[in-house]
Amino acid sequence: MAEDALILVVEDDDRLRERLARYLGETGFRVTAAANAAAARDHLRFVQPDLMVLDVMMPGETGLQLTESLRRDNSDIPVLLLTARGAPEDRIAGFEAGADDYLPKPFEPKELVLRIRAMLRRAAPPAPLIGPPAGPLPLGPLSFDRERGELRGPAGPMRLTGGEAALLGALAARPNEVLSREDIAAALDMDEAGERAIDVQMTRLRRKIEADPREPRFLHTVRGRGYVLKPGV
């Protein structure tokens, strides 16, 4: 269950960190906390959290820098960023760094819990498909297993963040069909801010799947309508 998930809270404000840890614990999550990025790295040496709640503006290594570092190291831990800066460009910077969701301060604790649960659902292995196995979708030298939600290349499974895997899974569930951003956001339990994040997630997916992300073969933009996945060899 999502409530059994281990959440790593990284927040330099002592009072807020304690409040978040207490509230999430009372909600049913298992919680561990760190005061800064260095302490978070120490935690990650010994535990593998199911999700990180990460403050952006911290002294030393910022939340954005820690997120970028995790993604460079091929970590697929879902990351939810917290920040007092909620302008669209700040949100986009967070998604470009590799975050899966972004919550501006101040926020309602209940909204934080709802977002965490939605992220955990997206990161969870998909339910088995009903009916005969659909088989992997070919994407040139890669393939996407719709039953496992797994992207594979010649060397084996490839790392995807929770947001990237969820987006690819939504498109792969309806290949060759144009899906609007609203359709995708609804399928992934995203809000309006999440709709804007879809464009960033798509850019990151193309970097991993396409030989030339500027001339995509598989992940197409249909102007004014949305996105479509066109599998092929």
The domains of the chain are located at 2-123, 137-229
* Model pLDDT for residues 180-222, shown as the tens digit of each residue: 888 888 877 776 655 667 888 898 899 999 999 999 999 999 9
Quote the pLDDT of residue 17.
95
Query: Cβ neighbours of residue 161 under 8 Å, at least 6 residues apart?
Result: 71, 76, 78, 79, 98, 100, 204
What local confidence, expressed as pLDDT, does residue 129 receive?
47
1-15, 123-137, 189-203, 210-224 — which one is most confidently predicted on average? 210-224
Query: What value does the mean pLDDT take over residues 25-35?
Result: 94
Q: What is the mean pLDDT of residues 123-127?
A: 65
Q: What is the spatial distance between Cα 127 and Cα 194, in angstroms, rounded to a whole number?
A: 23
The better pLDDT of the pair 90, 63 is held by 63
| CATH architecture designation of domain 2-123 | 3-Layer(aba) Sandwich (3.40)
HSE-up (13 A, CA, CB side) for residue 222? 13
pLDDT top residue among 124 and 114: 114
Q: How high is the pLDDT of residue 141?
A: 94
Residue 53 CA to residue 3 CA, distance in Å, equals 15
Using CB atoms within 10 Å of the CB of residue 215, give its burial: 0 to 12 exposed, 13 to 18 middle, 19+ buried: exposed
Q: 10 Å Cβ neighbour count for 4?
A: 10
Q: What is the CATH number of domain 137-229?
A: 1.10.10.10
Residues 6+ apart with CB under 8 A from 48: 6, 77
Q: What global pTM score does this model have?
A: 0.70
Query: In the β-sheet with 79-83, what is the strand arrangement from edge to edge?
Result: 30-34, 6-10, 51-55, 79-83, 101-104
Q: Which tokens in the block code for residue 228? A: 């479509």
